[in-house]
Amino acid sequence: MMLPVAKPDVIYQSLSEGAVLFSASDEVYFGLNEVAARVWEALPATATWDELYAAVAAHYPGVDPEKLRSDIHQLIDDLLAQKLLLPPTAD
């Protein structure tokens, strides 16, 4: 299954302990912790959920894989709900 993609107008700004996302068109400001920022950064380089999990898990080897998967899914759901991501397109 393909991943959602960032809306073209979303601005990403890395911070010392995470990042922020801003969409002027939707007037949405969203803070990301370090792990969530890593997920956002990995989205363009990954095409599938498994690739995304692997990319993020490589930075957090001590984290339970099921907990990480659950947290990533929750984050993606939140970003979709805030209209910061676009749903995947069917090919």
The answer to whether 83 touches 26, Cβ cutoff 8 Å, is yes
Task: Give the residues across from 30 on adjacent strands.
Answer: 21
Domain assignment present for residue 91? The answer is: no
**Which residues are bridge partners to 31 per DSSP?**
20
Q: Supply the range of the domain harboring residue 47.
A: 5-85
- The first and second tokens of residue 40, run together, are 């956002």
Residue 81 resides in a domain: yes
pLDDT in tens, 45-78: 788 999 999 999 999 999 999 999 999 999 999 9
Look up the CATH number of the domain holding residue 15: 3.90.930
48 inside domain: yes
Residue 61 lies in a domain: yes
On whether residue 16 sits in a domain, the answer given is yes
**Whether pTM exceeds 0.95:** no
In total, how many domains does the chain have?
A: 1
pLDDT in tens, 12-27: 999 999 999 999 999 9
C-alpha to C-alpha distance for 76 and 30, rounded to whole angstroms: 12
